[in-house]
Amino acid sequence: MTEILEELSQLLGRNVRKSIEDGKRAFDELGARIKTEVEPVIPDIKEVIRKTGRELEKVANSLTSAIGSIPVAESRESISEFVEPINEYAPYRWALVL
């Protein structure tokens, strides 16, 4: 491998091995920098996620309560009044589109 790098260095007129090492070092430093930048905000992100979860839970409970207060039985009785006319005139509904 070293021979190949040396041959490439000669062909390209510069030290390829040093360029590769410099690139690897820069890449490693980038990973470390990202880690040091991200780690301090992780607790804040977790708290925002927890807070959002609590808010979503409140909304879900509110929706469940609202749905539970709908008078379904009365609505079904009202709907049953219209079943016969709907069945009678449903075959003609396509004509309304024309």
- The pTM (predicted TM-score) of the whole model is 0.46
pLDDT digits 0-9 by tens, 27-44 = 888 888 888 989 999 999
d(CA 47, CA 42): 9
Asked whether the predicted pLDDT for residue 82 surpasses 90, the reply is no
For residues 11-24, average pLDDT: 71
d(CA 56, CA 64): 12
Asked whether the predicted pLDDT for residue 22 surpasses 70, the reply is yes
